[in-house]
Chains A and B, each alone.
Chain A
Amino acid sequence: MSAWRCEGLVYRYPDAARPALDRVTLSVPEGACTAVLGPNGSGKSTLLRALLGTLAPAAGTVRFGGLTLAEWPRAALAREVGVVPQGEEAVFPMSVRELVGMGRYPHLGPWRREGEADRRAVREAMRRADVDGLADRPVGTLSGGERQRARVARALAQEPRALALDEPTAALDVAHEMAIFELLRDLGRAGTTVLLVTHNLNLAARYADRLVVLDEGRVAAEGTPSEVLTAELVQRVYRWPARIVPHPGPGPDTGAPQVVPLAGEMCGGIRAEDGHAA
């Protein structure tokens, strides 16, 4: 059973030379973690936005839970799908608790007041995203990483069936980045569908059940991390030579493929060599 399924998705930005998405067909399985990878400008965020209904595709269909996006009322979709967008700047002062509390809005409608269940969901979300100590801080005074975790908490407060994140760890240090990925894996284990756009190939390989690699708006590869992450693919898609080594462990992800990009004079030589091999 798949959470998202899109077929023949085409999207073109105004005045763009080539479509940002070019006949993309893929499905995102339910209750698993899927990571979308690809170089800058390969269409990752565009794909995410099309799957979330923010961008209307020129051609193709997007379904979530069996229904096309047009069939989903906006508020009902917001009760099913939590989103952590890439960047947003609140211009007016607001506390972290207020920001996270907004995650309950899809459940409340215009008039209903927050009940005990809502407050509990907000507290639990702040605890899981490790922002419970920041509850009363104005969002504007947070560091980039803290702000990002507050946004993750807001999506968790929605108690969604599926979670979509656009580069959620871009501004985070190693510890907080790992904590987010651990959290995503826990959510996946508990049955939440996780769809994530990231540049971190190695963490995606360790934590995601499935990888989708985009290149120039097309799906270049799709499958489990060990199927997808090969030296040949990295070289072809990212245009940079790399070696793939197994994760040395210890840990549950021992043996996961890890990408080591090569440096210095190795680039030239191996790039040429790989070029011949490919």
Chain B
Amino acid sequence: MKPALRLALLLAALAAALLLAVRLGAVPLSVREIVDAASGRGDPTTVTIVRRLRLPRSLLAALVGGALAASGAVFQALLRNPLAEPYVLGVAGGAAVGAVAMVALGGLAATAAPVSAAAFAGAIVAVALVFRIAAAAGRALDTRVLLLAGVVAGAFFNALILLALTFADADSFRSAMFWMMGSFSGATWRGDALLAAYMVPALAVLLALSRPLNLLSVGEETAAYLGTRVERVKLVAYGVASLLTAAAVAASGVIGFVGLVVPHVVRLLWGGDHRFLLPASVLLGATFLVLADALARVAAAPTELPIGVVTAFVGVPFFVWLLRRRGVA
């Protein structure tokens, strides 16, 4: 099958997943009702459910899934490590510190806008800190040093979070935990538009780096011999992928597993050329989170499951099955 056709099929799968996600919920809707509601006709409650709740929420799940999967693929290539994921450079820990500080100490709800802003700021501070730690070791972009710096910074952020939680009251504690488990319940059109406006140029830059990323996943010296300006590519790719992760985390909290596993699934099924791997990961990651969020909403209704529970429960058995069938490199 041609790569373009595969991408078209993945896009169709994403569209189907979005439609399914908007149909499912406390009030199941037909396709007809959704189409009417989307164009503002029909029952006002249905219009509200579709236009204010389910559509922005499902789109947010798609955007976050795409951002995390693309970022995971890039980190795996840059660090030449199959275990790398979007949070490996401390983005999640930094974002969580920002969010938990707002929730636990500022008493804000987990979905409030300042929490999202604080999470984004925390993520950026974390990335800057990790690069500073690595630079202090003398080789700012040495992959092994960066990994270690990420792990160390992550441990420090965890300690900060536990410290903040120790002094939080029960309500704030619950809110903070809720944020850290990740959720799309705070989705708004404005938030979706912001994330999308950032994702488009970010993905374009990463896609333009596809060939250098192919080379870097073989080796940095080889990449240089095949015409890559290694340090510049690494700096741009780390920066863009970190910002992508930060934007996703700010919008929905820390959602694990997508960024780690989706790129591997694409590689196992269709190979590792980033010109295909990146767009395919975006589409598959988006589809996966849209379906996972729909399942999280309806599986134990009216209780909403944490999205991370669903991604792991569905994703892990599937990945194990795929590994057994295909084997790794």
Interface residues of chain A, those whose CB is within 8 Å of chain B, are 52-54, 74-79, 81-83, 85, 88-95, 98-99, 102-103, 105-106, 108, 110-111, 138, 140, 158
B227–A94 CB distance below 8 A: no
Residue from the list B80, B208, B215, B229 in contact with A102, Cβ < 8 A: B215
A-B contact pairs, 24 of them (CB 8 A): A54-B221, A74-B227, A74-B228, A77-B227, A78-B225, A78-B226, A78-B227, A85-B222, A88-B218, A90-B219, A91-B81, A91-B82, A92-B217, A92-B267, A93-B267, A94-B271, A94-B329, A98-B271, A102-B214, A102-B218, A106-B227, A110-B210, A110-B211, A110-B212
Chain B contacts with A in 256-306, Cβ cutoff 8 A: 267-268, 271-273
B211–A95 CB distance below 8 A: no
Chain B: CB-nearest residue to A77: B227
Instruction: From B215, B219, B222, name the one whose CB has the most chain A CB atoms within 10 angstroms.
Output: B222
Interface bits B67-88 vs A (CB < 8 Å: 1, else 0)? 0000000001100111000000
Interface bits B43-79 vs A (CB < 8 Å: 1, else 0)? 0000000000000000000000000000000001100
Judged by a CB distance under 8 angstroms, whether B203 is at the interface is no
Interface residues of chain B, those whose CB is within 8 Å of chain A, are 76-77, 80-82, 208-212, 214-215, 217-219, 221-222, 224-229, 267-268, 271-273, 328-329
A105–B227 CB distance below 8 A: yes
A75–B227 CB distance below 8 A: yes
Q: List residues of chain B with CB within 8 A of the CB of A102.
A: 214-215, 218, 226
A-B contacts besides A92-B82, A103-B226, 18 pairs, CB < 8 Å: A54-B221, A74-B224, A75-B227, A77-B227, A82-B225, A88-B218, A88-B219, A88-B221, A88-B222, A90-B217, A92-B77, A92-B217, A93-B329, A98-B272, A98-B273, A105-B214, A110-B208, A110-B212
A52–B219 CB distance below 8 A: no
> Interface of chain A, helix or strand or loop or mixed?
mixed
Q: A90 to B215, alpha carbons, bound, how many Å? A: 9
How many residue pairs link A and B with beta carbons under 8 A? The number is: 82
Q: List residues of chain B with CB within 8 A of the CB of A81.
A: 225
Q: List residues of chain A with CB within 8 A of the CB of B80.
A: 91
Chain B: CB-nearest residue to A151: B222
Instruction: From A82, A83, A94, A140, name the one whose CB has the most chain B CB atoms within 10 angstroms.
Output: A94
Q: List residues of chain A with CB within 8 A of the CB of B218.
A: 88, 90, 94, 99, 102
Min CB gap B1→A, angstroms: 16
Min CB gap A77→B, angstroms: 7
> Which 7 A-B residue pairs are closest in the complex by CB-CB distance?
A78-B227, A75-B227, A88-B219, A83-B225, A106-B227, A93-B329, A140-B329
Q: List residues of chain B with CB within 8 A of the CB of A52.
A: 225
Residue from the list A77, A88, A89, A92 in contact with B272, Cβ < 8 A: A92
B271–A105 CB distance below 8 A: no
B221–A105 CB distance below 8 A: no
Min CB gap A143→B, angstroms: 15
Instruction: From B208, B221, B227, B272, name the one whose CB has the most chain A CB atoms within 10 angstroms.
Output: B227
Min CB gap A76→B, angstroms: 8
Instruction: From A88, A90, A92, name the one whose CB has the most chain B CB atoms within 10 angstroms.
Output: A92
Q: A94 to B267, alpha carbons, bound, how many Å? A: 9
Q: A218 to B224, alpha carbons, bound, how many Å? A: 27
Q: A18 to B275, alpha carbons, bound, how many Å? A: 45
Chain B: CB-nearest residue to A111: B208
Q: A78 to B224, alpha carbons, bound, how many Å? A: 8
